A and B are shown apart, each in its own frame.
Chain A
Amino acid sequence: AVPALEVPGAAMAAAPPPGPPLQYSLLLQHLVGERRQPRAWDPGALGGIPSPPKSEEQKAVERAMESCAFKAALACVGGFVLGGAFGVFTAGIDTNVGFDPKDPYRTPTAKEVLKDMGQRGISYAKNFAIVGAMFSCTECMVESYRGKSDWKNSVISGCITGGAIGFRAGLKAGVIGCGGFAAFSAAIDYYLR
């Protein structure tokens, strides 16, 4: 690109010698104007490792996999699975089913326990899925907007997610949720990097 811009500068600085008309204009048009020829940007020629050119389908698939929607969907499914496991696990630890006021020492039946585990698992799974999808989506959008990838992306998106969740319980809860979730995601980010 640099040599192409230096030529018109030289043509303007020195008076063009008398010759066939429009000589330099022709040259310029071939270099930077309408009559530019398309070039094949071969990675081997530019100093990179030579690799076979990617087909259109491969490029489309890679573009889809890098998109924000796909990342959010991935986080949603991952959150669902993780939340389900977490819910089932905590239901096993923290039991409060089958409590009969007339007989406090009665052991709950297996059916009651399983039903409770299922309900808690599903409820935790849905919450985790929603939170995960929201966080991933906001982080991807913030990163696309800023054009950089550093620690601030996860802090900002953590604040947005926490704030959106807490805002349903009032403004103060929203602010606390923002700060807490931002700190949590900053800690996770620090640990992962």
Chain B
Amino acid sequence: MTQACHRKCVPPHYKEAELSKGESVCLDRCVAKYLEVHERMGKKLTELSMQDEELLKRMQQGSGTA
């Protein structure tokens, strides 16, 4: 996350040591977007993996009884 947002928001030519207002605003937005996407993808993948597990359990039960 640090690398991605640094690449997007901080241009390589440094003019002063402090983060300027534009850069801090950009970093704020970048981090918020990254964390939100991370959370949503995590939830979606958890959902998909639970569906997978259910399918596998049903298959096992089906092959066990048959």
Residue ranges of A at the interface with B (Cβ–Cβ < 8 Å) = 1, 4-5, 8, 11-12, 15-16, 18, 21-22, 24-25, 28-29, 31-33, 46, 66, 140, 143-144, 146-150, 153, 193
B6 at the interface (CB under 8 A from A): no
Least Cβ–Cβ distance between A193 and chain B, in angstroms: 6
**Contact indicator B42/A31 (Cβ below 8 Å):** yes
List the count of A-B residue pairs having beta carbons below 8 Å apart. 80
Asked if B46 and A146 sit within 8 Å, CB to CB, the answer is no
Determine whether the beta carbon of B56 is less than 8 Å from that of A16.
Answer: yes
From known contacts A143-B20, A149-B22, infer whether A16 and B46 are also in contact, taking CB-CB under 8 Å.
Answer: no
Inter-chain contact A22/B42, CB cutoff 8 Å: no
Instruction: Please measure, in the bound complex, the distance between the C-alpha atom of A94 and the C-alpha atom of B11, giving whole angstroms.
Output: 48
Q: How many residues of chain B have a CB within 8 Å of chain A? A: 29
CB distance from B28 to the nearest CB of A (A): 9
Distance, CA A144 to CA B50, complexed state (A): 42
Interface status of B32 (Cβ within 8 A of chain A): no
- Where the two chains meet, the residues of B that have a C-beta atom closer than 8 Å to any C-beta of A are 1-2, 9, 11, 15, 20-26, 29, 34, 38-39, 41-43, 45-46, 48-50, 52-53, 56-57, 60
| B-side contacts of A147, CB under 8 Å | 9, 22-23, 25-26, 29
B52 surroundings in chain A (CB, below 8 A)? 11-12, 16
Q: Is the CB of A1 within 8 A of B1?
A: yes
Give Cα A193–Cα B60 distance, bound, in whole angstroms: 70
Docked-complex contact B22 and A1, CB < 8 angstroms = no
Residues of A within 8 A of B49 (CB): 8, 11-12, 24-25, 28
Contact between B46 and A33 (Cβ–Cβ < 8 Å)?
Answer: yes
23 interchain pairs (CB within 8 A)?
A: A4-B42, A8-B42, A8-B48, A11-B49, A16-B52, A24-B49, A25-B49, A28-B45, A29-B46, A32-B39, A32-B43, A32-B45, A32-B46, A33-B42, A143-B20, A143-B21, A144-B21, A146-B22, A147-B23, A148-B11, A148-B26, A149-B21, A193-B15
Judge whether A8 and B21 touch: CB under 8 Å: no
Q: Other than A147-B23, A149-B22, give 20 A-B pairs with Cβ distance below 8 A.
A: A1-B1, A4-B42, A8-B45, A8-B48, A11-B49, A11-B52, A12-B49, A16-B56, A18-B60, A21-B53, A28-B45, A28-B46, A28-B49, A32-B42, A32-B45, A66-B24, A143-B21, A144-B22, A147-B29, A193-B15
